[in-house]
Amino acid sequence: MRHIAIVGSGPAGYYTAEAALKQWGENVHIDVFDALPVPYGLIRTGVAPDHQSIKAVARRFEKTALNENVRFVGNVKVGENVNIATLQDLYHAVVLATGAPHDRQLDIPGRDLANIFGSAAFVGWYNGHPEFADLAPDLSGKNAVVIGMGNVALDVARILAKSRAEFAGSDIVEHALTALDTSSLSSITILGRRGPHQVMMTPKELGELMHLDRASPRVDSADLPDVSTDALLEPGVRKSVTHLRSFASIPENMRGKKPVEIDFDLFASPVAFHPAKGSSASVGEVEVEETRIEADRAVGTGKKYCVPADLVVTCIGYRTSPIPDIPFDERAGRFANNEGRILPGLYCVGWARRGPSGTIGTNRPDGYSIADLIEQDMANKVIDTSDKAGRNGFDTFAAQHNLELVRFSDWQKIDEAEIAAARDGAPREKFVDIAEMIAARKA
Ligand code: NAP
């Protein structure tokens, strides 16, 4: 029997479990660990609550989770409740699928002012991640600034702009819905340090901005490069640029009909945050420097101006959490690895392997390639294949250390309770408190 431990139950974790089942069939036992008592990682707490079709992939992961050779082992913090060396003693291979849960820091003056958040915290807040449920962003100002030109910036801007009615059918948590309902924001500026041709936002997601009830997008046509140069772009980027062009051509009188403007401020690199007038604690402005593109990079022109900002969300990428003694690539913010191998018997997949890029589906080939690599390492005796204690050994360890494990059958009870608590039309109302999650499995 092969014993495999996967740390992280998000897309990278479950695609790896699926691949391991394909690889070894009846001859493998897989334990999928998670720090939370609930599975699915980014599907639950990262994917936007109004993108339910993307979350449907959880049904595929459930199929894997219900296979009797796979176990969900929730409420276990690897590195705290159990260390990697112990897992390596118990399992033939340990795969880190821990994602990239920390924000890349925007290290500019004023970054500690209140009401500036990283996207991990802000997205976690509206998605009910227990760590960020109490974030309480102040939405009483008029101006929000969202920094970054990727899909996370787009998610944040869209969520800030939507009306309560537009959240029907979403699983946004009640505390966020209530706060957004009373929001006074009328201007959401998306700051991009480069230009339209360097946009990381994907066309489908950008297109959604044209169909918001309360908000309309705006691009300054002076920021658009000559249309003939679009031909050189990769087709996806070209489609995104076409959306930006259409935002630039919305007539002023049409735009004014909606109370919220989503303004793309491009070629604008943030250089400092300044406090609000009359406050020393809370953000009031973002100072930016105009840029031009040189060799695909943003280069400051020296010309600066300020953008009003009562709320700031930085969406500039993520970093993996380092684990003591595990090789880490500080610059890239992920585990140091060679095609997914960190050390013999220790692997990484998904964002923990390649950094925060790609779609949910990108994790599938990642998971399959790691299963192949583990098989190769077993065949080449890079991994010792002699008997290991596996899941029984872990259960003994957990009992000795009084760990309160949450199984998949427990999650099914938590799931039922969340579905039962859903407001009208919503798929669920998430628990945002770990103790409440654990209590729900016993109810
Ligand atoms: P991303 O696509 O890498 O975008 C990050 C943005 O931050 C870039 O525009 C980058 O600009 C900017 N940035 C970085 N450092 C900056 C700085 N110091 N100052 C100003 N701007 C800075 O990352 P993401 O939006 O976090 O998304 C992560 C991944 O998840 C992506 O692959 C994304 O497509 C995916 N995702 C997908 C969906 C969806 O499919 N619906 C939703 C959410 C996320 P430069 O390009 O100039 O570096």
CA distance 351 to 320: 7
What is the predicted pLDDT for the residue at 354? Answer: 95
Are the folds of 2-101+320-406 and 102-318 the same? Answer: no
420 Cβ contact partners less than 8 Å away, ≥ 6 residues apart = none
CA distance 271 to 107: 9
Instruction: Tell me which residue of 37, 28, 81, 17 sits closest to 407, measured CA to CA.
Output: 37
CA distance 139 to 279: 16
Q: Regarding the domain delimited by 102-318, which CATH topology (the fold level of the hierarchy) does it fall under? A: FAD/NAD(P)-binding domain (3.50.50)
State the average pLDDT for the chain: 96
Q: Any idea which residue has 């209140």 for tokens?
A: 114
As its CATH architecture, domain 2-101+320-406 has: 3-Layer(aba) Sandwich (3.40)
pLDDT in tens, 76-131: 999 999 999 999 999 999 999 999 999 999 999 999 999 999 999 999 999 999 99
CA distance 286 to 411: 43
386, pLDDT greater than 80: yes
Q: H or E element: which one contains 365?
A: helix 363-379
Q: What is the DSSP string of 191-242?
A: E-SS-GGG--S-HHHHHGGGG-SSEEEEE-GGGSPPGGGGGGS-HHHHHHHH
- Give residue 340's pLDDT band: very low, low, confident or very high (50, 70, 90): very high
pLDDT in tens, 251-299: 887 777 899 999 999 999 999 999 998 878 999 999 999 999 999 999 9
Q: Any idea which residue has 């585990």 for tokens?
A: 335
Mean pLDDT confidence for 1-6: 97
Instruction: Quickly count: other Cβ atoms within 10 Å of residue 147's Cβ.
Output: 27
CA distance 109 to 287: 10
pLDDT in tens, 222-242: 999 999 999 999 999 999 999
pLDDT in tens, 108-120: 999 999 999 999 9
Residue 407 dihedral angles phi and psi, to the nearest 5°: -95, 170
Handedness of CA 138, 142, 146, 151 (dihedral sign): positive
What is the predicted pLDDT for the residue at 73? Answer: 98
What is the predicted pLDDT for the residue at 63? Answer: 97
- Residues lining ligand 1, CB < 6 A? 51, 106, 147-153, 155, 192-194, 198, 200, 202, 205, 269-270, 298, 315-317, 356-359
**Per-residue buried b or exposed e for 41-72, using 16+ beta carbons within 10 Å of the residue's own CB:** bbbbbbbbbbeeebbebbeebbebbeeebbbb
What is the predicted pLDDT for the residue at 442? Answer: 77
Q: Are 369 and 95 in contact (CB under 8 A)?
A: no
CA distance 291 to 9: 41
Q: Are 334 and 352 in contact (CB under 8 A)?
A: yes
What is the predicted pLDDT for the residue at 174? Answer: 97
Distance 151 CA to ligand 1 centre (A): 6
pLDDT in tens, 44-74: 999 999 999 999 999 999 999 999 999 999 9
What is the predicted pLDDT for the residue at 252? Answer: 80
Reported in sequence order, the residue ranges of 67-130 that DSSP labels E, i.e. its strands, are: 70-73, 93-96, 102-103, 116-118
Closest-CA residue, ligand 1 atom 31, reads: 357
158, pLDDT greater than 80: yes
Distance 24 CA to ligand 1 centre (A): 37
**pTM for this one?**
0.96
What is the predicted pLDDT for the residue at 237? Answer: 97
Mean pLDDT confidence for 331-348: 96
**Position in ligand 1 atom list of the atom nearest CA 51:** 41
* Domain spans of the chain, in order of start: 2-101+320-406, 102-318
Closest-CA residue, ligand 1 atom 15, reads: 316
Q: CA-based Rg of the chain, rounded to a whole angstrom?
A: 23
- Give residue 3's pLDDT band: very low, low, confident or very high (50, 70, 90): very high
What is the predicted pLDDT for the residue at 441? Answer: 87
Among 239, 316, 351, 360, say which to mutate for ligand 1: greatest number of ligand atoms within 8 Å of CB.
316
Tokens of 377: 């390492």
- Give residue 351's pLDDT band: very low, low, confident or very high (50, 70, 90): very high
Mean pLDDT confidence for 349-370: 95
Instruction: Tell me which residue of 180, 147, 158 sits closest to 312, measured CA to CA.
Output: 147
Closest-CA residue, ligand 1 atom 18, reads: 106
CA distance 243 to 319: 30
**By CB neighbour count within 10 A (0-12 exposed, 13-18 middle, 19+ buried), where does 189 fall?**
buried
What is the predicted pLDDT for the residue at 253? Answer: 78
Mean pLDDT confidence for 1-11: 97
Mean pLDDT confidence for 401-427: 96
Distance 6 CA to ligand 1 centre (A): 27
Among 123, 155, 200, say which to mutate for ligand 1: greatest number of ligand atoms within 8 Å of CB.
200
pLDDT in tens, 418-443: 999 999 999 999 999 999 999 998 77
Mean pLDDT confidence for 217-221: 96
Distance 110 CA to ligand 1 centre (A): 22
What is the predicted pLDDT for the residue at 326? Answer: 95
Going from the C-alpha of 349 to that of each of 97, 101, 192, 288, 294, the distances in angstroms are 5, 14, 29, 36, 34
